[in-house]
Amino acid sequence: FDQLEGEIWYNGEFVPWKDAKLHVLSHGLHYASSVFEGERAYGGEIFKLREHTERLHKSAELLGFEIPYSVEEIDDACNELLQRQGFEDAYVRPIAWRGSEMMGVSAQQNRINLAIAIWQWPSYFKPEERLKGIRLDMAKYRRPDPRTIPSESKAAGLYMICTLSKHEAESKGYADALMLDWRGRVAEATGANVFFVKDGVIHTPTPDCFLDGITRRTVIDLARKRGYEIVERAIMPEEMEEFEECFLTGTAAEVTPVSEIGPYTFTVGEITTNLVNDYTKAVQPVREAA
């Protein structure tokens, strides 16, 4: 990935992709003082760019640092980079981290760096599996108590558990893993939120210790527009026995149907299919008729 073509926006400059490097003594690497975003561009426009950039700022604040570029400057940088890369449909990854000026847990004086990379990433899960429903493992590790970590932040440190869970799932032939929270409630997948359907009603866990995804909120709005009832509540894993449909939402995952979670099975039903289609339409830029 470090050998792709094109440019990376790095602390205000466009640098050749292969030259966008940092020092091995970066605080972000040693102590996980790093926050990032995942965005998608459709038809040359970054979907919900402002919301993502605002979340990036907030994620940094929750880790005690301030990104030295305003929300407007970051939005402009993302848009300019998308144009320079020449992509219509792409994935956008801004990342901010504490630099290498001082070594140790304390890093008050370290520079806050910001980089943005944009690449083509058509499908998060294998396209042939995606619409038939993907299979999820039940993860061994749980999402932590929000009193132990700022879980509202899209912080790199929170992804250690996700990578462990995803790797274990993949080694068993699953596409992804479903994690419970520290109380044993259903939480989320390793890079996406989860929804269930039963008797025409949509159920999704209350995001009180994991990311309240921008896609999650978009899909809740789309479901309400269709007149579907949505309940946000605590969901216990045993309830999955009774749920009929299941899907994931995330910027990379978009709306992905799920056919299996551990011992529980689901069908790709009408509600899931309608929301896959509604989301596909919603992300396309609105163009004035010529």
Cβ nearer to ligand PMP, comparing 55 with 135: 55
Cβ nearer to ligand PMP, comparing 205 with 213: 213
Binding of ligand PMP at residue 99 (CB under 6 A)?
A: no
3-class DSSP string for the chain: CCCCCCEEEECCEEEEHHHCCCCCCCHHHHHCCEEECCEEEECCEECCHHHHHHHHHHHHHHCCCCCCCCHHHHHHHHHHHHHHHCCCCEEEEEEEEECCCCCCCCCCCCCEEEEEEEECCCCCCCHHHHCCCEEEEECCCCECCCCCCCCCCCEHHHHHHHHHHHHHHHHCCCCEEEEEECCCCEEEECCCEEEEEECCEEEEECCCCCCCCHHHHHHHHHHHHCCCEEEEECCCHHHHHCCCEEEEEECCCEEEEEEEECCEECCCCHHHHHHHHHHHHHCCCCCCCC
Among 165, 213, 254, 264, interactor with ligand PMP by CB under 6 A: 213
Quick check: is 154 catalytic?
yes
Q: Phi then psi for 62, rounded to 5 degrees?
A: -65, -25
| Spatial contact of 81 and 7, defined as CB atoms under 8 Å apart | yes
Among 28, 38, 94, 133, interactor with ligand PMP by CB under 6 A: 38
Cβ nearer to ligand PMP, comparing 107 with 156: 156
| Spatial contact of 32 and 158, defined as CB atoms under 8 Å apart | no
Q: Which residue is nearest to ligand PMP (CB)?
A: 213
Number of residues that bind ligand PMP (CB under 6 A): 15
Cβ nearer to ligand PMP, comparing 107 with 138: 138
Q: Residues for the chain: how many in total? A: 290
Least gap, CB of 6 to ligand PMP (angstroms) = 23
Least gap, CB of 247 to ligand PMP (angstroms) = 13
Instruction: Of 149, 165, 279, 283, give the one whose Cα is nearest residue 222.
Output: 279
Cβ nearer to ligand PMP, comparing 138 with 211: 211
Least gap, CB of 211 to ligand PMP (angstroms) = 4
Interface region with ligand PMP, contact rule CB under 6 A, candidates 20-28, 85-93, 196-204, 243-251: 243-251
Interaction residues for ligand PMP, span 138-167 (CB under 6 A): 162
Determine the residue type at 281. Answer: K
Interaction residues for ligand PMP, span 183-212 (CB under 6 A): 188, 191-193, 210-211
Which residue among 58, 132, 154, 198 is the active-site one? 154
Binding of ligand PMP at residue 118 (CB under 6 A)?
A: no
Least gap, CB of 61 to ligand PMP (angstroms) = 17
Binding of ligand PMP at residue 214 (CB under 6 A)?
A: yes
Interaction residues for ligand PMP, span 249-268 (CB under 6 A): 249-251
Q: Which residues bind ligand PMP (CB under 6 A)?
A: 38, 162, 188, 191-193, 210-211, 213-216, 249-251
Write out the catalytic residue numbers.
154
